[in-house]
């Protein structure tokens, strides 16, 4: 058990979402004193885990409600901030709402956390979209990273950020949309087959978040080496297995040909330790080479086929 979490009261914002629910289950399996979940909507499955015999304490409310946020954070030692507006399409269509949730909401959680004397550490969850951002979502996540860096050290609390990749099978992902198309027998709409995308399993993202909680983040951004797949390969696997036609639509607003994990401007401020990168904004370090999805190990079609048929398979 991680010494930074043992016996601690832990809060997960957005803890009923795709990634948040998995993190909550991991935390319930450890020797934490209490797991709290701040969520906009109480999940239907909010029942005690039959194996663990424990359940989280749910606080229902929005990030822009100061009273609710203060209630959720009161007496909390460790905050994992996952709540966000995550859909790239929705963020592009509703930039003010994206800023309100992802930026102002994060600011509200940070300020409430800093106002509670129990706070020891704060881990915000970001995305590879935050590196050289071209979308509204990426821009908001880049601001989340800077806000966490800026808050570090205030009142003695340790702040940091985890930069995740695309979560395999998450709601609204390209895989989710294409699997819906496969179920209905409709055409596959592919923006640009040349595109490459990082891939991360939900369990791997939880591992990275828990890893961050064991480190002295000091305002840094933690990410890990990830493989990537070509959009053309994933589309071909789904289309061929379901007899679907493909239709290229062209890149949408904010989309990149390749995703960046460590950008050229971030590289001088980045340390690499085997599979981990630690970006320290504003503090030059040993430096590393920029890293994007075009340079990452390419997930083969065979591996994609295994992932499509087995939730336990991993491309790492």
The encoded tokens of residue 246 equal: 């493909």
What's the total number of domains in the chain?
A: 1
Query: Is 121 inside any structural domain?
Result: yes
What share of the chain in percent tops pLDDT 70? 94
Residue 78: domain span: 9-165+199-224
Using an 8 Å Cβ cutoff, are 188 and 181 in contact? yes
Q: What per-residue confidence (pLDDT) applies to 50?
A: 42
What is the pTM (predicted TM-score) of this model?
0.91
Ranges 1-5, 230-234, 312-316, most confident: 230-234
Whether 203 and 262 have beta carbons less than 8 Å apart is answered as no
The answer as to whether 18 is a domain residue is: yes
Asked if 244 and 187 touch (Cβ cutoff 8 Å), the reply is yes
Whichever domain contains 106, its CATH number is 3.40.50.720
In a domain, 271, yes or no: no
pLDDT bracket for residue 45 (50, 70, 90): low
User: Rounded CA gap, 180 and 188, in Å?
Assistant: 10
- Residue 27 sits at φ, ψ, to 5 deg, of -65, -35
67: in domain: yes
Between 25 and 182, where is the model more confident? 25
């Amino acid at each position: 058990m991680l010494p930074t979490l043992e016996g601690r009261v832990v809060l997960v914002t957005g803890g009923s979402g795709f990634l948040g629910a998995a993190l909550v289950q991991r935390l319930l399996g450890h020797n934490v004193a209490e797991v709290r979940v701040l969520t906009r909507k109480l999940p239907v499955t909010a029942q005690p885990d039959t194996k663990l015999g424990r359940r989280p304490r749910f606080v229902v409310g929005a990030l822009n409600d100061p009273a609710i946020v203060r209630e959720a954070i009161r007496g909390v030692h460790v905050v994992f901030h996952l709540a966000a507006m995550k859909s790239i399409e929705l963020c592009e269509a509703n930039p003010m709402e994206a800023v309100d949730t992802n930026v102002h909401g994060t600011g509200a959680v940070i300020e409430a956390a800093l106002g509670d004397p129990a706070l020891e550490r704060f881990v915000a969850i970001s995305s590879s979209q935050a590196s050289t951002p071209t979308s509204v979502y990426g821009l908001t996540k880049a601001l989340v990273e800077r806000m966490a860096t800026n808050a570090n050290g205030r009142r003695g609390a340790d702040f940091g950020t985890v930069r995740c990749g695309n979560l395999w099978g998450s709601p609204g992902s390209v895989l989710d949309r294409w699997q819906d198309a496969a179920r209905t027998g409709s055409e596959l709409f592919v923006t640009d087959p040349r595109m490459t995308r990082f891939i991360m399993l939900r369990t791997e993202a939880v591992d990275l978040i828990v890893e961050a909680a064991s480190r002295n983040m000091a305002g840094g951004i933690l990410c890990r080496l990830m493989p990537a797949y070509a959009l053309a390969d994933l589309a071909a696997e789904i289309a061929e297995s379901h007899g679907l036609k493909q239709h290229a639509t062209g890149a949408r607003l904010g989309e990149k040909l390749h995703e960046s994990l460590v950008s050229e401007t971030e590289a001088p401020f980045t340390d690499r330790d085997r599979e981990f990168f630690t970006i320290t904004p504003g503090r030059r370090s040993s430096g590393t080479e920029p890293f994007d999805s075009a340079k990452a190990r390419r997930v083969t079609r065979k591996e994609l086929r295994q992932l499509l048929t087995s939730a336990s398979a991993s491309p790492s």
